[in-house]
Chains A and B, each alone.
Chain A
Amino acid sequence: MARYESLLDACGGTPLVGLPRLSPTVPDGAPPVRLWAKLEDRNPTGSIKDRPALFMVREAEESGHLRPGDTILEPTSGNTGISLAMVAKLRGYRLVCVMPENVSAERVQLLRMYGAEIIFSPAAGGSNQAVATAKQIATEHPDWKMLFQYGNPANARAHYETTGPELLHDLPTITHFVAGLGTTGTLMGTGRYLREKVEGIQIIAAEPRYGELVYGLRNIDEGYVPELYDPSVLDRRFSVGTRDAVLRTRQLVEVEGIFAGFSSGAILHAALAVAHEAVKAGKRADVAFVVADGGWKYLSTGAYVGTLNDAEEALDGQLWA
């Protein structure tokens, strides 16, 4: 389908493309092992977050939580804010984003372009400062609404109802699904759907491992596990460091022509690991993974060029996924 009533109707339905050059070579006569990329950068604002943003707003409208002219408050590190800004603009809401100041300049410009207002929480202050900022805002504006993507079932439902069925339709032979782990919505929703439909499917999480600044908690008890997270949906969970994520992101564009953000490189790293295991085991595999967004918003980091050491340094302390 190529014609839609509005931009919101054009959300989802993204292409699944094969990676013939990055898929591992199998010995003669062995079953094929293939990698497939779901290009979520083809969504209206260029990331997978358009799906949950649209579902969360629709659900809030239907339940009466959101009323015309309301202000939505979103503590976000980027893509969800951009998606919500677009949806809020088209549906008539005001959006205020609270975000750490160590996100890329492109994200800030995009948000402002879509009409969102931004309140920065200092990166150096760590989560304690963000907590203080959020508390202050909450006190001053008790009428502002939050959609809370980390615990909102509509986030996972967006993927259960759209991403999962699209994958199964386009790749009925799917054996592995690999995606990034942040709010956990993509993996929980898509993972649950595929588990119900595909016997023996492996659901694999790739979690970005940031520089130390990002883990600036005062103690372990300040940690946080998203309410949506249910480990029983997953089979494995990989932690992928900045260096591997950058290396794979560069391979994606250099070898297959896919210009993606760094979280997609981290996801590809985990996808390649399971693909190579399948080759070793002599098993057939169709490994589908998520390209969560394009690389445009990260160009200013400089991490697409130069040595890997330079790139690692450039991304240190940044929320690159």
Chain B
Amino acid sequence: MAIEVRVPTILRSYTGGAKIVEGSGGTLTALIDDLDTRHGGLKGRLLTPEGGLHRFVNIYVNDEDVRFLGSLDATLNDGDSITILPAVAGGALGFAAAAAFLGI
């Protein structure tokens, strides 16, 4: 069994358009490294140059935010379901409009 990874629309250019890809690894770091071998460039979008999780990337393990599970060191198991989402939260359009209005 492998780990199922759901990829958001804006990152599917790295997965050949695939919405769901499979990977393996005992930690989130290992999984991302594994994914990057087949989907080159994905790692660079998920992590910062310093190696931390990108501020505007949220990753969920079985629907729980990985930042509260040890972040990149979070332990993964076969059969886990991973969801990657851009950080927009509720009312994304409202955020963007508000941010633009305030010039941030």
In whole angstroms, what is the CA distance A128 to B102 when docked? 15
A192-231 CB mask vs B (1 if < 8 Å, else 0) is 0000000000000101110010111111111111100001
Interface stretch of the complex, out of B24-32, B33-41, B72-80, B92-100: B92-100
Chain A contacts of B91 at CB under 8 A?
76-78, 182, 319
Interface stretch of the complex, out of A3-11, A110-118, A165-173, A236-244: A236-244
Q: In the complex the two chains form, is B94's CB within 8 Å of A76's CB?
A: yes
Q: In the complex the two chains form, is A231's CB within 8 Å of B10's CB?
A: no
Which of A73, A98, A133, A217 gathers most chain B CB within 10 Å? A217
Q: In the complex the two chains form, is A231's CB within 8 Å of B88's CB?
A: no
Interface of A is mostly: mixed
In whole angstroms, what is the CA distance A264 to B71 when docked? 27
Which of B11, B45, B91, B93 gathers most chain A CB within 10 Å? B93
Residue in B8, B63, B99 whose CB lies within 8 Å of A240: B63
Residue in A73, A217, A236 whose CB lies within 8 Å of B86: A217
Chain B contacts of A234 at CB under 8 A?
68
Q: In the complex the two chains form, is A224's CB within 8 Å of B56's CB?
A: yes
B72 to chain A: closest CB distance in Å? Answer: 15
Q: In the complex the two chains form, is B92's CB within 8 Å of A214's CB?
A: yes
Q: In the complex the two chains form, is B54's CB within 8 Å of A220's CB?
A: yes
Task: Please list the 10 inter-chain residue pairs (A to B) with the smallest Cβ-Cβ separation, ordered nearest first.
Answer: A223-B56, A182-B90, A127-B96, A237-B65, A75-B97, A77-B91, A134-B97, A131-B100, A130-B93, A100-B93
